[in-house]
Amino acid sequence: MSKQELKQNEFNYIPMTINDYFGYIQDNNVNSSPIWQRDNVQSTDKGGATPSKAQGIVQSIFEGLDIGEISIAGITDKEVLEGGHRTRKAILDFLNNEFPLHKSSLFGEKFFSDLPPYAKEYYRNYNLRIVDFYELDDSGKGKQFVQFATQTVLNFVEKANAYGMAASIVELRELTKVVDYGNGAVDNVLTLFKDYVGFSNGRGKYLELILDSAGLHHGEGLSTNESEVLEYLDVTNAIKINKIKNAIIKEYNFYQNVGAFWNTYTKHKISVMEFGFLRHVYFNLPKEFKVEDYDLFTKDLVKNLNAFEDANSEIDYVDENGDRLDGRYAKVWDAFKSYVKKTNSDTATEQVRIWLSDITPSVIAKDPERAFSAKDLLKKYEEVGGICEIEGTPIHFSQVVGAHIVPHCEGGKTIYSNLMITTKFHNSKMGTMNANDYKKQYEASIKE
């Protein structure tokens, strides 16, 4: 086994007062609320019957207690790093009169400006312990943040979001919420999330769905998992990032097209379970497919799903011997509702795909091979006598373009029997027409 390089994250220990800390934040443009940190689970810092987290930390200062280290990280763009960043930010917010002390505090419910001079002086001179991880880049910040977050365990999406401004997470995050990096808001939020889902973005739910999709496209398997997604975020490159983003946008266009009619036929927006169902539908369709009429497709999909529910709500989920297939679910429909929400189980996905055979309407399967081979082009060119089959005039092989007789977008195969020899001009003009129909139209036009 080769010797592994072991290196601790470099840091400086910087003691300073709250007053010094305020100046340090301003002078070094330190971001105390990075966009990648998790949202505050409390809606207000004012508290109620009990102090809010922010009030609790300030109250601890006046009681003389140590509030722990404050960690800052970054090479040039510095950010408050550690998991309790909201309460540490409260130190400055209280100084700026953004919330009062809790009514149970030593001074009652008072803002900083209302405190007696000796209390203000004490607060300004309270000693903090600052640790500056001055060598960490974006992904390094995320990994260190995850290690710090021990008070409230991070869920999967919070771990991924902790990759901060790393390119692998930035564009995925922008698909789920409006973000502001300090130079104006960026709104690339997908229409699906704006208009068609009936569930909120609490604790980054939309980003969780996007990350699951990234994992499925990256791994190209039946399922994905947290480790696979985090591996993608950690080691991917610009080409892969662009490829995955394009695949996700294509996938979510399908959901948006269905979502435009979902409410019409269900009388509600897409639920979490229904989104999971649609995701399994999408990944079970041919790799290249076309839906001719999304209104009709959605109507049939909802009708078939309703029929499946009616038929299986009271059917026991058992094998041929009468033994339960899954101890958690007594009925087929109960298992279905759970399995479609999963992206981390090959077994669940395989079972869902069996069920989908009775539910998914037909689509046009497009040949994944789009272009005819040079071998087939030359063979056909020689067979037809070296002419353009539309005009019937000789052309050089360098001018040859292979047209699909039955259009590719209509399910036409990229095979020899579906090949017509023509030129770039005619291939472009015929668009999505059947090549034989286009030829008849062209011949009629030159006779006029």
d(CA 97, CA 114): 9
Q: What is the mean pLDDT of the chain?
A: 86
Q: What confidence tens digit (pLDDT) does each residue in 402-440 have?
A: 999 988 877 788 889 999 999 999 988 888 889 999 999
Please report which residue ranges of 323-434 form alpha helices under DSSP H. 332-339, 346-356, 374-383, 424-430
Tokens of 90: 């409260």
As a whole-number percent, the residues of the chain with pLDDT over 70 amount to 92
Fold of 374-447: DNA Binding (I), subunit A (1.10.30)
List Cα–Cα distances, 125 to 30, 66, 108, 121, 267, in angstroms: 20, 13, 21, 6, 60
Domain boundaries of the chain, sorted by first residue: 12-154, 186-364, 374-447
Q: Taking a C-beta distance cutoff of 8 angstroms, is the pair 229, 360 a contact?
A: no
DSSP 101: P
Chain-centroid distance of CA 27 in Å reads 35
Q: Taking a C-beta distance cutoff of 8 angstroms, is the pair 13, 130 a contact?
A: yes
Mean pLDDT highest for which of 67-81, 103-117, 174-188?
103-117
Q: What confidence tens digit (pLDDT) does each residue in 320-356 have?
A: 999 999 999 999 999 999 999 999 999 999 999 999 9
Q: What confidence tens digit (pLDDT) does each residue in 203-243 have?
A: 789 999 999 999 999 998 899 988 888 888 887 788 999 99
Residue 157's Cβ-count burial label (10 Å; 0-12, 13-18, 19+) is buried
Give the three-state DSSP class for 49. Answer: coil
Please report which residue ranges of 34-115 form alpha helices under DSSP H. 53-62, 85-95
d(CA 8, CA 92): 30
Tokens of 334: 């109960």
Chain-centroid distance of CA 397 in Å reads 46
